[in-house]
Each structure stands twice: as C-alpha cells, then as structure tokens.
Amino acid sequence: MDTYASDLADLVEALDLTDLAVIGHSTGGGEVVRYAAQHGVGRVTKVITAGAVPPVMIKSDSNPDGSPIEVFDGIREGVLKDRSQFYQDLSVPFYGFNRDGAKVSQGLKDDFWRQGMLAGLTAAYDCVKAFSETDFTEDLKSLDVPIFIAQGDDDQIVPIHDAALKTIELVKHGTLKVYPGAPHGIAGDYQAELDADILAFLGS
C-alpha cells in the first residue's frame, strides 16, 4: 500500500496538481487515504472512498470482528490455481448477482473478468496482503480534510461493519452515506446515485 501511495504521489508531483480531490474504490480507497494522509498535505482538499478497505480488514487481537486470514488465503489460492475461473466466480458476489431479484449483466461479469486478467499474477497475489492487512487507522485519524465515505450495506466483498461504519468514527470531517441493498461493485442505480452524491460533495 505504501508503494501504491508513493506512485500516486510521484504522479501528482510530476503534474504539479493542487486543489485535488482523490477518489478510490475498494483497495483504491485505501490508496487514496494513505496518499492524502502521508503525501497529500497542501495538495488534497477532499477525499472520497467507496466500498473502501480502511481501517483494516483482517481479524486480529486488536480487530476481533475482522475477516479471518482463511478468507484471504482462499483468494490467494483462487488466484494461483485458476485465476480466470476465480475472477468469473468472484464477479457474482462482487455485483450482488447472487441476490434474489438481481438483474444480472453478462457484460459487467465479462468486463470484471477482463480487468482481472489484465493484472499480473504477482501483483494480483501480493495485492491481497496489501488490502487485507494494512492498518489505515492512523491515516484516517490524521486526515484534516473532508472525506465522503460511501458503501452499500449489502457489500459481500468488504463487510460494511469492518469498513465504512468504523471509518466514520475515526475521521475528523467525515460524511457517511450508506446505500441500502447496494453491492461492492458500482453499477446501475447505485452508480447513478453515488455519482450524484460525489458531484454534490465536490461542489460543497
């Protein structure tokens, strides 16, 4: 995660961007939180996360209600054993297509698979440790800019009780928006509502 944030810092500095709003989904939410806290002072004015992994996902003595290591070992096993099938299978809970009444989009499933297969095997494998074990607690506490924290309450990938509901308790200037029935993947009505809320937050 430090590498992700450092790479973003290098890009922002090369382009000399200021008055910057950073937006991240899932693992990317962790990246923008760490970037804003550790590199973005004086450049970042707002942070937006959606279904983001902070503060920390993995179960431990200090995070007893987190997800057990076996969950993430299963992801690693899937990536190594047959990542093509793994990404096809993962697309179903990712977009909530396993819920009653869900409108399944084969196009979304195909695009999720396509994006997964574009990632290098080592990067995909190592990313699991980065998103699950990195503790963003101090990053969240140190943020001194407004942060909009968005998450669906039917997120099967990043449990909301481990993520947004804890994050809002740690930040100084946070706004929490919970989307009833929304999954981890951003699409359809959830996407339209989230996009409108992001634009409103940026304009506030």
For the chain, how far is it from start to end, CA to CA, in angstroms? 30
Distance CA 149, CA 197 (A): 11
**CB of 155 within 8 A of CB of 52?**
no
CA distance 89 to 112: 10
In whole angstroms, what is the distance from residue 29 CA to residue 122 CA? 21
Three-class secondary structure of residue 16 per DSSP: coil
Q: Pairing relation of β-strands 20-25 and 174-179?
A: unpaired
Catalytic center residues = 26, 155, 184
Nearest residue to 95 via CA among 1, 194, 188, 196: 188
Distance CA 47, CA 31 (A): 11
Tokens describing residue 85: 């099938």
